[in-house]
C-alpha cells in the first residue's frame, strides 16, 4: 500500500509538472463551451446544431477561413455572433472565460484552419 501511494504521488507530480500546450488547453475549453454546437472536431455538427438556424460554422472549412483571422475569431468568441453581424445564437463567452482560457480557445480554433494548398 505504501508503494502504491508513493507511485500515485510521483505520478501526480508528473501531471502537475507536465507542460500543456495552448492548443491542448484550448481543446479542453472548446470541448466544454463550444462543442455542443460546433461539434467535437469543430465541423458544426454538435448535438445542439440540429435545432439551430443558421447552423454553427464548420471551423475546418477553407471557405469559412477566407473571411476570418485570429482577431475576428477572438471578437466573436468574446462578444458573440451579433457583434460581428453573424447569428445572435453564437454566445458571447468574454464574461465566462478568463484571459488564459480565451487565448487558448482562440488558438485552438485558429489551428482548425486548413493548410493553404
What are 81-97's pLDDT values in tens digits? 999 999 999 999 999 99
Distance CA 13, CA 11 (A): 5
pTM confidence score: 0.79
- 56 and 43 Cβ atoms separated by less than 8 Å: no
Distance CA 24, CA 29 (A): 9
- 52 and 36 Cβ atoms separated by less than 8 Å: no
User: Domains of the chain by range and CATH?
Assistant: 21-111 (1.10.760.10)
- 70 and 110 Cβ atoms separated by less than 8 Å: yes
Q: What is the SS3 assignment for 98?
A: coil
Q: What phi, psi does 90 have (nearest 5°)?
A: -75, 110
**Other residues' Cβ atoms within 10 Å of the Cβ of residue 32:** 13
What are 51-76's pLDDT values in tens digits? 999 999 999 999 999 999 999 999 99
Mean pLDDT of 19-41: 87
pLDDT given for residue 22 in this prediction: 62
Amino acid at each position: 500500500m505504501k508503494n502504491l501511494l508513493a507511485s500515485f504521488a510521483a505520478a501526480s507530480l508528473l501531471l502537475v509538472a507536465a507542460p500543456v500546450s495552448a492548443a491542448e488547453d484550448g481543446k479542453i475549453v472548446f470541448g466544454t463551451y463550444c462543442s455542443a454546437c460546433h461539434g467535437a472536431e469543430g465541423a458544426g455538427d454538435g448535438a445542439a446544431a440540429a435545432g439551430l438556424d443558421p447552423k454553427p460554422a464548420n471551423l475546418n472549412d477553407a471557405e469559412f477561413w477566407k473571411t476570418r483571422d485570429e482577431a475576428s475569431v477572438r471578437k466573436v468568441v468574446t462578444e458573440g455572433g451579433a457583434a460581428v453581424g453573424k447569428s445572435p445564437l453564437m454566445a458571447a463567452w468574454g464574461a465566462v472565460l478568463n484571459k488564459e482560457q480565451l487565448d487558448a480557445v482562440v488558438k485552438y480554433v485558429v489551428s482548425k484552419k486548413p493548410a493553404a494548398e
